[in-house]
């Protein structure tokens, strides 16, 4: 598709800036809603690039990917079809906290996603750097870009990731770019500031990449994938055309699919030594982190190796995972060795690690510092509170991680397109799933370090087991048209089957004389002789039935508690509501509320430092406020 005539009077419905994980989902979701979408990105060769580790999923994240799939996103399929090793995490723990993870072939992942974009109807992909916003009367009307082009859009989604005013650091050497060898986005930051959008700085880092044939794998612990892959996408509800929409196309070599999407590779494990730590300690002064050259806050859960050595000086060794970046390359990712020490020191450090004595670095480790826009400036549709029709998604919102980015992209894409098409907006609440928790945390609490999902962030995570994502979002997908009719029907049938079987197992007695449900709660699943017809159900349905029976009592409790959240969520706090001079409200609490401006009583109640009594007081005044307003209206 070539660029069509695009004028202020003939705008695109949605313009997406940046084809990272957020941008791709945003563009696809918007086009699926029927919007006319333009996706601008700095470089077509880096579409959906995994800037850091070659893996999708993991704790908290794996569940998000399944939710993305349940909401019609692409990430799950893309990961499944380009995966080279699958693993279900936490199999030794309960099912509520089990999560799928996959190593993916990085290049294949990008190419497949690129091809999805290419095929998507109403979606125009174009290589161009956005350098400014067109804003009229506090409403975004389009963007300006390199080559002096202007693009008009009813809505604009910014998904520029780590690229705003980005600089990369390796020791003393500093250069511009959102990734090593990539560009940096310059004009945009100034535009945001001009329009009153606040920006702050974060940093993150990535380890060196090594040439596989220079690594000595002998004696290193092997880590292979699970025999039975646990995939991200839900297949039981899909028709072929919803599964192989890329693979069917002749241009996407189907033979690729025969190789990818299964367990092809092994990872390896090694660890740092005392010598490693000595090198690091001796050279700390050369790290821009310790010299103070980097001011942005980094994530605590992804520390650089220098951080780990300094902060946990009592540990004499740290684990290092060696992960292949793909099947058509011998580039290896050295998980655990993120650093911004000078290149020579990186080499020294590697030499001190078993297996890496002679390893050749083909890309050095580096840190990147970038602007992000504190997400408390957004509503829960991810639209700016300051500029109408301007949406933000992904790392620009202060998050970190492909999955977190993709989830936001999906929500922003659906909302921007629905806003352009004059339809109502979609909000996902924190009682519905991890994506709800993510968006609620971002927009109400904001971030103090790059935000990543942890299952503990969800108050009611027992309800968010990865297998139930489709069921949980059935009503939403129906109301917002996120799936084909046939997939929706299939999900509904499955949900019904699940409910029926739960009742059956609760009432039917096994040979031993007690009900199946009772057995499920007391003995291991493998010891139970289920009726033959149960085994004929799809595995996913069996799993869900067993899950819901096992945790029956707890789930009921959690559902009740989650409802409480929802009730408080329904109590909206109008923007004109003032916390000042509410008698009885503590000053500390007043300041917090004024700063964060929660949009519902539920959000207010989750702000740290705001106690139940404060909420009661606000509730009372809220009631008074609305009553008085109504009286005035009458």
Partner 1 sequence: MIETIIALATPAGESALAVIRISGPLSHIIAKEACDCTNPTPRKTYLVDYQSSDGETLDQVVITLFNKGKSYTGEDSLEISCHGNPLIIELISKDLMNRGCRIAQPGEFTKQAFLNGKIDLPQAESVAQIIAAKNEQSLALAQRNLKGKLSNKLLSIQKDILGLQASIEAHIDFPEDDLIKEDHNKYQQNVKTIIKELETLLLQANRTKLLAKNIRVVLAGLPNVGKSSLFNALAGKNRALIHSDAGTTRDYLEFDIKIGKYWITLVDTAGVHNASEEIELAGIEMSLEQAEEADLFLWVIDNSVPHPSELPKDFTKLIQSKPTLLIRNKSDLGENDWIPNYKKTPKAINISSTEKSGLKQFERLLLELIQEITGVDAENEYLVSVRHELLIKNCLDELNHFLQKSKEKVGEEITSLHLSEAREKLDMMIGRKTNEDMLDILFGEFCIGK
Phi, psi of 26 (to 5 degrees): -60, -45
234 token code pair = 């839900």
405 binds ligand FAD per the rule CB under 6 A? yes
Question: Where does 137-241 show beta strands of DSSP type E?
Answer: 139-145, 149-158, 167-170, 173-176, 200-206, 209-211, 221-223
Q: For residue 15, which of 147, 119, 149 has the smallest C-alpha distance?
A: 149
Are 234 and 200 within 8 A, CB to CB?
A: no
The least distance separating partner 1 from the CB of residue 173, rounded to whole angstroms, comes to: 24
Number of residues that bind ligand FAD (CB under 6 A): 36
Spatial separation of the C-alpha atoms in residues 620 and 606, rounded to whole Å: 18
Could you identify the residue written with the tokens 């109640």? 605
Q: What is the CB neighbour count within 10 angstroms for residue 103?
A: 29
Residue 400's binding partner among partner 1, ligand FAD, none (Cβ under 5 to 8 angstroms by kind) is ligand FAD
Strand partners, 320: 270
Closest CB to ligand FAD among 188 and 589? 188
611 binds partner 1 per the rule CB under 8 A? yes
Q: Residues 6 or more apart from 182 whose CB is under 8 A from it?
A: 42, 43, 46, 163
Strand partners, 322: 268, 334
Closest CB to ligand FAD among 339 and 498? 339
Under rule CB under 6 A, which residues in 153-182 are in contact with ligand FAD? 159-163, 178-179
Under rule CB under 8 A, which residues in 469-528 are in contact with partner 1? none
The least distance separating partner 1 from the CB of residue 389, rounded to whole angstroms, comes to: 33
Residue 42's binding partner among partner 1, ligand FAD, none (Cβ under 5 to 8 angstroms by kind) is ligand FAD
19 binds ligand FAD per the rule CB under 6 A? yes
Could you identify the residue written with the tokens 């001079």? 581
End-to-end CA distance of the chain: 55
Phi, psi of 588 (to 5 degrees): -55, -40
Residues 434-463, mask of contacts with partner 1 (x by CB under 8 A): --------------------xxxx-x-xx-
Residue 23's binding partner among ligand FAD, partner 1, none (Cβ under 5 to 8 angstroms by kind) is ligand FAD
Spatial separation of the C-alpha atoms in residues 471 and 487, rounded to whole Å: 12
Residues 122-141, mask of contacts with ligand FAD (x by CB under 6 A): -------xx-----------
Under rule CB under 6 A, which residues in 442-501 are in contact with ligand FAD? none
Q: Which stretch binds partner 1 (CB under 8 A): 167-175, 330-338, 393-401, 481-489?
A: 330-338
Radius of gyration of the chain (CA): 25
Q: Which stretch binds ligand FAD (CB under 6 A): 117-125, 396-404, 612-620, 621-629?
A: 396-404
Strand partners, 271: 319
Under rule CB under 6 A, which residues in 361-390 are in contact with ligand FAD? 368
The least distance separating ligand FAD from the CB of residue 416, rounded to whole angstroms, comes to: 15
Q: Residues 6 or more apart from 536 whose CB is under 8 A from it?
A: none
Q: Which stretch binds partner 1 (CB under 8 A): 149-157, 258-266, 281-289, 581-589?
A: 581-589
Alpha-helical (H) ranges within 170-251 are: 187-194
Spatial separation of the C-alpha atoms in residues 339 and 319, rounded to whole Å: 15
The least distance separating partner 1 from the CB of residue 560, rounded to whole angstroms, comes to: 8
Closest CB to ligand FAD among 450 and 598? 450
> Pick from 78, 82, 287, 335: which binds partner 1 (CB under 8 A)?
335
Closest CB to ligand FAD among 236 and 331? 331
Residue 14's binding partner among ligand FAD, partner 1, none (Cβ under 5 to 8 angstroms by kind) is none
Q: For residue 379, which of 345, 328, 336, 416 has the smallest C-alpha distance?
A: 416
Under rule CB under 6 A, which residues in 251-310 are in contact with ligand FAD? 302
Give the three-class secondary structure for 24. Answer: helix
Under rule CB under 8 A, which residues in 253-272 are in contact with partner 1? 271
Could you identify the residue written with the tokens 């189907």? 254
Residue 19's binding partner among partner 1, ligand FAD, none (Cβ under 5 to 8 angstroms by kind) is ligand FAD
The least distance separating ligand FAD from the CB of residue 131, rounded to whole angstroms, comes to: 6
> Pick from 261, 303, 364, 375: which binds partner 1 (CB under 8 A)?
303
600 binds partner 1 per the rule CB under 8 A? no
Residues 198-237, mask of contacts with ligand FAD (x by CB under 6 A): ------xxx-------------------------------
Phi, psi of 449 (to 5 degrees): -150, 165
Give the three-class secondary structure for 112. Answer: helix
The least distance separating partner 1 from the CB of residue 24, rounded to whole angstroms, comes to: 25
Strand partners, 24: none
633 binds partner 1 per the rule CB under 8 A? no
Angstrom CA distances, 109 to 21, 48, 147, 288, 399, stand at 11, 7, 30, 33, 21
The least distance separating partner 1 from the CB of residue 334, rounded to whole angstroms, comes to: 10
The least distance separating ligand FAD from the CB of residue 38, rounded to whole angstroms, comes to: 11
> Pick from 8, 43, 198, 224: which binds ligand FAD (CB under 6 A)?
43
400 binds ligand FAD per the rule CB under 6 A? yes
Q: Which stretch binds partner 1 (CB under 8 A): 73-81, 141-149, 209-217, 579-587?
A: 579-587
Spatial separation of the C-alpha atoms in residues 417 and 465, rounded to whole Å: 30
Count H helices and E strands in the chain, helices first.
22, 20
Closest CB to ligand FAD among 83 and 302? 302
Q: How many residues does the chain have?
A: 634
- The rounded Cα 310 to chain-centroid distance in angstroms is 30
588 token code pair = 């500390």
22 binds ligand FAD per the rule CB under 6 A? yes
342 binds ligand FAD per the rule CB under 6 A? no
590 binds partner 1 per the rule CB under 8 A? no
- Which H helix or E strand runs over 606? none
Q: Residues 6 or more apart from 430 whose CB is under 8 A from it?
A: 436, 437, 439, 440, 441, 458, 459, 565
Residues forming contacts to partner 1 in the complex (CB under 8 A) are 53, 58-60, 89-90, 93-97, 271, 299-303, 308, 311-312, 315, 318-319, 321, 335-336, 338, 454-457, 459, 461-462, 551, 554, 560, 563-564, 567, 582-585, 606, 608, 610-613, 616-617, 619-621, 623-624, 627-628
Residues forming contacts to ligand FAD in the complex (CB under 6 A) are 17-23, 40-43, 46, 51-52, 129-130, 159-163, 178-179, 185, 188, 204-206, 302, 368, 394-395, 400-402, 405
């Amino acid at each position: 598709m070539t660029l069509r005539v695009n004028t202020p009077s003939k705008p695109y419905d949605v313009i997406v800036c940046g084809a990272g994980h957020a941008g791709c989902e945003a563009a696809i979701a918007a086009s699926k809603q029927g919007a006319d979408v333009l996706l601008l990105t700095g470089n077509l060769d880096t579409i959906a690039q995994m800037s850091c580790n070659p893996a999708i999923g993991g704790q908290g994240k794996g569940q998000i990917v399944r939710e993305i799939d349940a909401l019609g996103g692409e990430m799950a399929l893309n990961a499944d079809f380009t995966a080279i090793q699958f693993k279900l995490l936490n199999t030794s723990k309960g099912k509520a906290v089990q999560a799928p993870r996959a190593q993916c072939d990085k290049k294949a992942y990008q190419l497949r996603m690129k091809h999805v974009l290419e095929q998507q109807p109403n979606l125009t992909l174009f290589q161009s750097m956005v350098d400014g916003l067109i804003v009229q009367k506090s409403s975004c009307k389009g963007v300006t870009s390199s080559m002096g082009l202007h693009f008009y859009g009813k809505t604009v989604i910014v998904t520029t990731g780590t690229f705003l005013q980005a600089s990369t650091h390796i020791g003393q050497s500093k250069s511009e770019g959102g990734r090593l060898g990539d560009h940096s986005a310059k004009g945009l930051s100034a535009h945001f500031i001009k329009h009153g959008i606040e920006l702050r700085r974060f940093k993150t880092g990535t380890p060196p990449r090594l040439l596989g044939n220079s690594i000595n794998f002998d004696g290193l612990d092997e880590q292979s994938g699970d025999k039975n892959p646990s995939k991200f996408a839900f297949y039981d509800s899909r028709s072929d055309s919803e599964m192989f929409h890329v693979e069917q196309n002749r241009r996407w070599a189907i033979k690729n699919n025969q190789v990818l999407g299964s367990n092809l590779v092994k990872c390896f494990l090694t660890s740092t030594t005392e010598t490693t730590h000595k090198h690091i300690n001796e050279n700390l002064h050369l790290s821009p982190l310790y010299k103070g050259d980097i001011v942005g806050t980094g994530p605590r859960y992804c520390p650089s190796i220098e951080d780990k050595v300094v902060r946990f000086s009592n540990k004499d060794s740290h684990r290092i995972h060696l992960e292949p970046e793909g099947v058509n390359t011998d580039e290896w990712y050295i998980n655990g060795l993120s650093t911004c020490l000078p290149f020579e020191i990186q080499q020294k450090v590697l030499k001190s690690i078993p297996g890496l004595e002679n390893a050749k670095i083909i890309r050095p480790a580096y840190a990147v510092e970038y602007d992000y826009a504190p997400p408390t400036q957004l509503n829960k549709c991810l639209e700016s509170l300051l500029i109408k029709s301007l949406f933000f998604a992904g790392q620009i919102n202060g998050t970190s991680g492909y999955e977190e980015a993709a989830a936001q992209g999906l929500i922003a894409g659906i909302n921007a397109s629905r806003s352009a098409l004059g339809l109502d907006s979609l909000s996902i609440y924190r009682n519905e799933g991890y994506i709800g928790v993510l968006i609620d945390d971002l927009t109400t609490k904001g971030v103090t370090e790059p935000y990543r999902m942890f299952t503990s962030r969800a108050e009611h995570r027992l309800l968010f087991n990865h297998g139930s994502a489709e069921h949980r979002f059935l009503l939403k997908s129906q109301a917002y048209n996120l799936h084909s009719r046939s997939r929706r029907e299939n999900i509904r049938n499955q949900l019904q089957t699940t409910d029926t079987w739960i009742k059956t197992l609760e009432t039917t007695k096994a040979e031993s004389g007690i009900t199946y449900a009772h057995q499920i709660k007391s003995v291991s699943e493998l010891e139970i002789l289920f009726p033959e017809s149960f085994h004929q159900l799809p595995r996913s349905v069996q799993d869900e039935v067993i899950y819901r029976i096992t945790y029956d009592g707890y789930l009921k409790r959690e559902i009740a508690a989650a409802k409480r959240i929802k009730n408080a969520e329904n109590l909206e706090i109008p923007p004109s509501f003032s916390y000042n001079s509410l008698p009885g409200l503590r000053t500390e609490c007043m300041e917090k509320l004024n700063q964060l401006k929660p949009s519902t009583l539920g959000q207010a109640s989750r702000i740290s430092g705001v106690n139940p009594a404060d909420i009661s007081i606000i509730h009372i005044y809220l009631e008074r406020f609305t009553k008085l307003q109504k009286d005035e209206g009458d």
